[in-house]
Structures are given as C-alpha cells and as structure tokens.
Amino acid sequence: MTRTILSSSSSLSPQQAGSPVIVALDYADARQALAFADRVAPSQCRLKIGKEMFTQAGPALVRDLQQRGFEVFLDLKFHDIPNTVAKAVSAAAELGVWMVNVHASGGERMMAAAREALVPFGADAPVLIAVTVLTSMNDEDLRGIGIAGSASDHAVRLAILAQACGLDGVVCSAWEAARLKTDCGAGFALVTPGIRPTGSDAGDQRRVMTPLQAQQVGVDYMVIGRPITQAADPAATLAAILQELQPGGADV
C-alpha cells in the first residue's frame, strides 16, 4: 500500500490528502480500541496508537486496524541514540504505519538517522514527524528541566531543526502553528494534540484549541481523543467536526 508522504519541499498542504482528524485510541485494551474502530469509517479519521496501547497489544493491533482500512499513526516518540532510533523507525515502516514520530530533543544526528532509515522504503515510507514541546508542558515546566525561554520559542527552534534534518513535520501546540507555517512553509506538516471540540473538557492538556481554531492557524492534522472515543455516537461526533471544518461549516 502506498501512503501519502509529506515533504518539507512540497507546496501542497497535507490536509489535501485524507481526513485532518487523528483519533487517539486511549483505551485499556485492544478489544475496546477495535470496538471503537468498528463504529467509525476510515474516511472520517486516522487512528493513533500510543505507548500504552502498543505495549499492551503490540503490532497485532496495528494490523487489525489496517485490515479495517485505517491509516495508523504510531505515536511512540522514539528518543535514543541515532542507530537505535533508525532501527525503530525502520521497524515501524516495515509494519506499514502511515505516520511515526521521534523526539526533536534527540538532536540533529538522531533525526537525520531516522530520515535516512526510511529512504529504502520509497513511496511506502511513513510520514516522519518530530515532537517539539509536549502540550502538557508550559514555560514553568521547561524552566524546571533547565530550558530558558518560552515553550513557544523552544518549540519553534526544535521545529526548524527537524525541518533541516529532512523530517516531514512536527507535533506542536496549536499556539505555535501560525508562526511555524511562516517559518517552515505550507508543506511542513503540523500535527497538534490538545484539540478539544467546543464545550469539551481540556483534560490534561494545558494549551488547547477547538478544531476550527486550530485549522485557522495552520494545523494540518489535529489529534482528538476522549471527546470522540467517549462520545455516545463517535461517527456523528466526527461528522460534526468535519462539517465544522468545511468552508462555511461553522455557520451550519
């Protein structure tokens, strides 16, 4: 299967290919995750598997979701020595995931090694993105680990480094999106957690926006979890979000 590859040199917005919504499968077990997948359509969203779900269910869950037609974002945030990260990213590509990520704070050599590891996969390589500053962290949190300045400034520095290493985009807060679009260009994908539909609780994310607000500031892919997974009708909730994101949709 050929997956969409984003390139920092591309002039096309990543939103032109598929749904901009990525649903975080934050469930206790694979059975619940698959039950959710059976209630929504692959055309409505991509699905994100994080550390908890992957540790519990492993590659089998990825394959089960792919068999249902879903593109999978493997959100394991690899952060290790360059050789180890390169092998991990290659293993993710072998699994056929749509998107995989690494920590930008791992540095230039680590990110470059990850990018190089995907070259043999050609058009079948997953989208490779870097995590900048976790959306659960604010300026005070960064000072606590010895990083001066604002979370926004640090995220932008890491994003520029990731682009220089040839990565396809970054995970960032929606609050940095407009600045990053200016600095990195329209073809550099911005993947944003901390997105909450209007009226939903902010949960454990400190820096949040609604889907429409995120789209307006340049977010390409928005990660949404509990407001969709815990909805009485997830498909209807997704449909409402997608409708809102259409031109004039907020007025409907």
60-63: long-range pairs with CB below 8 Å, 24+: 60/30, 61/30, 61/33, 61/34, 62/95, 62/96, 62/97, 63/95
Question: Is 43:71 a contact under the CB 8 Å cutoff?
Answer: no
Strand partners for 131: 103, 171
| Cβ(102)–Cβ(126) below 8 Å | no
Binding-site annotation, residues: 26, 48, 75-84, 135, 196, 205, 225-226
Binding site as annotated, residues for substrate: 26, 48, 75-84, 135, 196, 205, 225-226
The H or E element spanning position 52 is helix 51-57
- Say if CB 73 and CB 104 are below 8 A apart: no
Q: Is 77 a catalytic residue?
A: yes
Catalytic residue among 51, 77, 87, 181: 77
Active site residues: 77
